[in-house]
Structure 1
Amino acid sequence: MSDISASEYISQQNALEDEARGLMPWNPSHCTYADGSLRQPIFACLDCGEIGVCYSCSIQCHADCHLEELFTKRGFTCDCGTERQESKKGEFWCHLRQNLDRDVPSLSNRYSQNFKGLFCDCHNKYKADIDSTMIQCVLGLECNEEWYHCCCILKKHDHARHCLQSAIQNNQVPSEFPAIDYFEGFICWKCVSRYFTVFQALMSHHRSSDVIAHKVAHLTTFEPLGSEDEAPSLSKKRKRDSNTEQLFSIMLKSGYDKVLLEIKEDLEKTDKLYVFLQDIAPFLINDDPVYEFPEDSDNDISTYELGTKALNTSLDRDTAVAGIQAMDDIKKKLSDFLRPFAEAGEVVKEEDIRNFFELQKGKPKNK
């Protein structure tokens, strides 16, 4: 340990705490189950029955589980502590609600391959070193708000390796893909196909150019099973051409919600586009806020209190509580010890820190 001034040491510790709170800004003290169906961040727990749990439960109840971050899902109710959850850890099914019996799960929740840890039309697991660019469908009524690789949006291959290789070769975003910064929303070809007549009506509207930034073709091809370098035969080429479907996705311009609202207000109430925007996908024109958890604050919760709430039942509770309490106590004492150095602008030497900890060892423990 090199010599460092107390003020520099404190600044470093504050920076680390700020970084941690940037990654975990909310106070994980409230399970959203009782709040019902919400648009909220969801984490898939692959160890407890492929359930979806809220932000707080992902930390307090499933910290030692295999979790997959799904980001936001609309109309989702937390599954933690419900009959969908297969395994129980500790005394309670949900440690925040402290329910001894499992609660009734929501019937409105929708589940997809995401809850198995799979994404996109290539059905692959997310790989952070490769999949840095994935786009979520803002409509999601057919795909359940799926996340897609840009290369898979353009073209579906029978073999997932093609998608991954294309992502690497094109630096995540294929050259023919629209620039990410030039559109605000994306609707996948699956959702467009389900409501094809609605999107036909939108594209034929005189204000369509104010809404749609790009129309991107999605070609479904049937690849030969031979070598990638092998030239396909004429018969295979004809088969591929005859099985090509005219599917497409659309990219929406910035502020598309306001324009869609204006379009809707000028339509007859019996118009299919009006019905779609009014009853089927009102979130495309109305504010659809994400549930806000209470923000964490140093004044609201101490290290001891937060640690106590985040305890896993794999540890003996008394031992864990004692350890966390000791950690909080030593943090306060170290701050008090460093304060005179900081006020005087003096350098804290290695021997000063060592003497501090030696002094703590010689003191009797608080009960």
Structure 2
Amino acid sequence: MAHSESAESPDSITALDYVESQLQLEHDARDVLPYDPTHCTYFDGGLRQPVYACLTCINKSKTLSGVCYSCSIQCHSDHDLVELFNKRNFTCDCGTARMASFGGCNLRKNYNELDIPSSSNKYDHNFQGKFCACDTAYNPESAVGTMYQCLLGDVCNEDWYHEECILGLPFPPLAPEPPKSPKGHPTGVDLMHLSGAKSKAVPHAPKGHPTKVMLDLHQGERIADTAETREPKSPQGHPTGVKLYPLDLAEFELSSSAQKPEPASPTGHPTGVNLLPQFEGDLPASVSDAEQDNDDDGDDDNDDDEHVPPPGFPDDDLFEAFICWRCVNKHRQILGRWAGWSKVALKEVVRKQPGEENDERDLHPAEPSAKRKLYETEMIEPPAKKVQTDNDKSLSASISSVASSTTHDSSLTVATEPGPDECHMPVSIPSAKEFSLFLIEGWRDHVCRCTSCMKFLDKFPMLKDEEVTYEPPKDEDETLSLLDAGTRALGSLPHLNAMEGLYAYNKVKTKLASFLKPFADEGRIVSEQDVKAFFEEIKSK
């Protein structure tokens, strides 16, 4: 009886379930942390590397700081961490005087003397867990949309930005929560108030049962159950239903001339009546094709969950990198000329100013052939061609004579491409007050590299060549379970140490078997308190 009662306990799990849950946890951990966390990057100097902000240590020391990937696991795994992703020219602060509240690094083991922090590290609100120009804390559980990191980072220190903030648009409103009853349950929506009907008590029959009534929803008045209004009966005596909407069916009767015989199929069965003759032959082929595609795909759920960027934001497939409006403004004389540069950047993405109306031209750029389509669809006559005058004819003849002479003179050459010291960057700069740049894939191969432009590119080498980002080495044991990894580590120990480890393991195994045997014999559940008490007893001996 005790065994059956314990088996029904909702908090109990079998040993097999526990092992499977542990294996799943190990698999999830390998997906999130696939690298070997045994090397601190402090002595590697400033690197572009993954950086983590430890809010626990920052709150204690009252100083902004960041740690490398390995230290986030080996030293701060039980702290409140914020992943900042890659930061340029950053040196790990773990085990330095900047994080004195934590002490020495567990990997460098400098517990007696803290190291000197790097002076080249840059800190901003990201190290407080906040991002974007809106200074909002990032919550991965509730965040909606995509954030983009600024490539240049000269002003913003490689900050991350929301799509709406890049465009200067407000965030979409959150769906309101349904109202709650006094007990906290959703109260639902009262749909009956839409009818406008007056709420009146229903009269009761002599025996207390409700009587049948007819409701006129237009007037909201109760109609008494009289002989004139009593519900009609079918030939068998069953009620035919209540008439809630009195209608004059004469309005729907078709004249004899309008009535047409229902067409029949070749087999003689009725094919049905076309109720939408006005649409007959007018449906585009794309409608039926789209319906067929929707039926074949079967991925409606995935389409509903797909994030749709705000109007005016470029598609992810059209650009490779992003430079925020703050960095563009500082270097407007150079980066401003990149906007719309062929094979370098898309057209400038303007950031709306507070109180400024949306410009439809920015949200919906005109197609190159818009003018031609306007002439065709609106039947507007295009502008008349300019009549060529005698002066124009003489000028054309002069140009033709010069062109013909150059074809026979091999010593005369015409320059078609700018020289190495000639800048071929566009001259015009967008007039918008603030705008961001979206760089096209392969843009580094097409930027100008004249003497003047190279001075700017040398100052920001990430615009000239792709950066090298430090990546910790892969974990050799990432495909092994904790048991397999422990066995492998045991095999790498010296013989004497390995024998001592096996002896200690067998000793614990024997004690654990003796501890669990009474529970198995009596069918009792092993609680968490029992396990803790067992290991506390071992530690005390």
Distance (whole Å) between structure 2 residues aligned to residue 102 and residue 120 of structure 1:
33
SS at match of 1:249: strand
Match of residue 115, structure 2, among 98, 103, 113: 103
Structure number with larger C-alpha Rg: 2
Q: Does 1:258 align with 2:445?
A: yes
**Bigger shift: residues 100-109 or 194-203:** 194-203
Report what 1:159 is aligned to.
Answer: none
CA 86–136 in structure 1, closer or farther in 2 if over 3 Å, else same: same
Q: CA deviation at 1:257?
A: 2.3
Moved more, 67-76 or 47-56: 47-56
Quickly say closer, same or farther: Cα 1:78–1:189, change in 2 above 3 A.
same
Seen in structure 2, the aligned counterparts of structure 1 residues 24 and 167 have a Cα distance that, compared at 3 Å, is farther
Which whole-Å CA distance do the structure 2 matches of 1:213 and 1:106 have between them?
Answer: 38
Partner of 1:288: 467
Q: Aligned pair in 2 of structure 1 residues 304, 171: CA closer, same or farther (>3 Å)?
A: closer
Report the AA paired with residue 107 of structure 2: L
Judge conservation of contact 2:34–2:478 (CA < 8 Å) in 1. no
Cα separation, partners in 2 of 1:171 and 1:186, compared to 1, 3 Å? same
2:100, 2:114 within 8 Å by CA — same for their partners in 1? Answer: no
**Deviations for 1:148-173, whole angstroms, at most 9, x for unmatched residues?**
000000016xxxxx4363899x9562
Residue 104 of structure 2 is aligned to residue 93 of structure 1: yes
| Equivalent residue pairs, number | 281
1:141 and 2:154 matched: yes
* Shift, 1:68, TM fit: 0.7
CA–CA separation in structure 1 for the residues paired with 2:485 and 2:73: 11
Measured after TM superposition, the shift of residue 247 of structure 1 is: 0.6
Structure 2 residue 380 is matched with structure 1 residue 214: no
- Closer/same/farther in 2, CA of residues 124 and 167 from structure 1, 3 Å limit: farther
Rate the CA distance shift 1:65–1:305 in 2: closer, same or farther, 3 A: farther
Normalising by structure 1, we get a TM-score of: 0.65
Cα separation, 1, equivalents of 2:484 and 2:114: 26
Residue segments in structure 2 that go unaligned for 5+ positions in a row: 1-6, 8-15, 59-63, 177-305, 357-430, 487-500, 510-519, 527-533
**Are 2:52 and 1:43 aligned?**
yes
Q: 2:173 aligns with which of 162, 165, 171?
A: 165
For 1:167 and 1:296, the matched residues in 2 are separated by 43
AA partner of residue 275 (structure 1): K
* Cα shift readout 1:31-58 (whole Å, capped 9, x = no counterpart): 1000000000000111212311000001
Q: 1:190 to 1:166 in 2, by over 3 A?
A: farther
Which structure has the highest strand share of the two? 1
State the TM-score, normalized to the length of structure 2: 0.45
Range that drifts further, 102-111 or 282-291: 282-291
- Residue in 1 aligned with 2:396? none
Runs (5+) with no aligned partner, structure 1: 157-161, 224-243, 308-321, 331-350
Specify whether residues 247 and 82 from structure 1 end up closer, same or farther in structure 2 by C-alpha distance, changes over 3 A only: same
| Cα contact 1:120–1:147 (8 A) shared by 2 | yes
Measure the CA separation in 1 of the matches of 2:308 and 2:149: 15
- For the aligned residues, what is the CA RMSD? 4.1
Q: 1:246 to 1:58 in 2, by over 3 A?
A: same
Which residue in 1 is equivalent to 2:34?
Answer: 25
Shift of 1:200: 3.3
Give 1:343's aligned residue: none
Q: Distance in 2 between matches of 1:66 and 1:13?
A: 23
User: What is the distance in 2 between the residues matched to 1:282 and 1:12?
Assistant: 48
Residues 110-149 of structure 1 mapped to structure 2, 5 A cutoff: 110-128=122-140, 129-149=142-162
CA contact (8 A) 2:339 2:346 kept: no
Q: Which whole-Å CA distance do the structure 1 matches of 2:328 and 2:120 have between them?
A: 23
Q: 1:29 to 1:300 in 2, by over 3 A?
A: farther
Q: 1:48, 1:87 within 8 Å by CA — same for their partners in 2? A: yes
The aligned counterpart of 2:338 is 202
Q: For residues 62-73 of structure 1, what are the structure 2 equivalents within 5 Å?
A: 62-73=76-87
Q: Deviations over 1:118-173 (max 9, x none)?
A: 100110100222244111001111110000000000016xxxxx4363899x9562
Equivalent residue runs for 1:176-195 within 5 Å: 176-195=312-331
Change (3 A) 1:85 1:305: farther
Distance 1:163 1:195 in 2: 28
Instruction: Give the CA deviation at 1:19.
Output: 4.0
Secondary structure (helix, strand or coil) at the match of 1:250 reads: strand
Structure 2 distance, partners of 1:217, 1:190, is 12
Residue in 1 that maps onto 2:434:
247
Alpha-carbon distance between aligned partners in 2 of 1:12 and 1:252, rounded to the nearest angstrom: 45
Residue 256 of structure 1 deviates from its aligned partner by 1.6
**Amino acid in the other structure paired with 1:38:** L
Compared CA separation, residues 62 and 12, structure 1 to 2 (3 A): closer
Greater Cα offset, 25-34 or 212-221: 212-221
**2:238 corresponding residue in structure 1:** none
